[in-house]
């Protein structure tokens, strides 16, 4: 393990030597050895004292990582991925891109059909006046806006 003086730590971190000394004292970090009058601190412990937020994010030692647990997690993730691929090949699951394409096509055809409805009704039923056609057109617009604002709630679908 490397050891550094307060001045070297200050040079490496860009912090003032006074700040370094203060933080090391606050962390109650003792020097690992002395070279003359210069105190040398262990690099890992000193940097952890200087950057406590970053040190909290990292495991403190190899005992924090259980290799067997990590292997089991990885194996489960691979098995889950394989199950998903198999379900897709059996056509039990459909990729999201395919669903988006299909729903987009259906919606486009529906919008086109709804858009032409007032004109077709006017031809078939000449007795319809402008007010009737406006009512039909406003209802179509209302429902198109309703569909455009629709939010898919996957929680509502669960279990169906």
| Rounded CA separation 24/36 (Å) | 19
pTM here? Answer: 0.42
Two tokens, residue 52: 């406590």
Residues 6+ apart with CB under 8 A from 158: none
The model's pLDDT over 117-146, given as tens digits with 9 standing for 90+, comes to: 998 998 999 899 999 999 999 999 998 888
The model's pLDDT over 66-121, given as tens digits with 9 standing for 90+, comes to: 677 777 888 888 999 999 999 989 989 888 888 889 988 998 898 889 889 998 99
Two tokens, residue 2: 């490397």
The CB density around residue 50, as the number of other CB atoms within 10 Å, is 21
- The backbone torsions φ and ψ at residue 64, rounded to the nearest 5 degrees and listed phi first, read -75, -20
The model's pLDDT over 18-43, given as tens digits with 9 standing for 90+, comes to: 999 999 999 898 999 999 999 999 88
Burial of 21: CB neighbours in 10 Å, binned 0-12, 13-18, 19+ = middle
The residue written with tokens 């070297």 in the block is: 8
């Amino acid at each position: 393990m490397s050891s550094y003086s307060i001045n070297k730590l200050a040079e490496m971190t860009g912090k003032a030597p006074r700040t370094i000394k203060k933080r090391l004292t606050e962390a109650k970090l003792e020097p690992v050895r002395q070279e003359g009058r210069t105190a040398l601190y262990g690099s890992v412990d000193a940097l952890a004292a200087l950057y406590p937020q970053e040190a909290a994010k990292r495991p403190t030692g190899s005992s924090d990582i259980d290799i067997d647990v990590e292997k089991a997690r990885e194996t489960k993730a691979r098995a889950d991925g394989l199950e998903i691929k198999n379900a897709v090949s059996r056509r039990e699951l459909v990729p999201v891109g395919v669903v988006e394409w299909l729903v987009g096509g259906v919606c486009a055809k529906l919008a086109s059909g709804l858009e032409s409805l007032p004109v077709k009704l006017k031809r078939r039923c000449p007795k319809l006046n402008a007010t009737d056609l406006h009512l039909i057109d406003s209802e179509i617009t209302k429902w198109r806006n309703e569909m455009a604002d629709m939010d898919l709630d996957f929680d509502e679908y669960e279990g169906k």
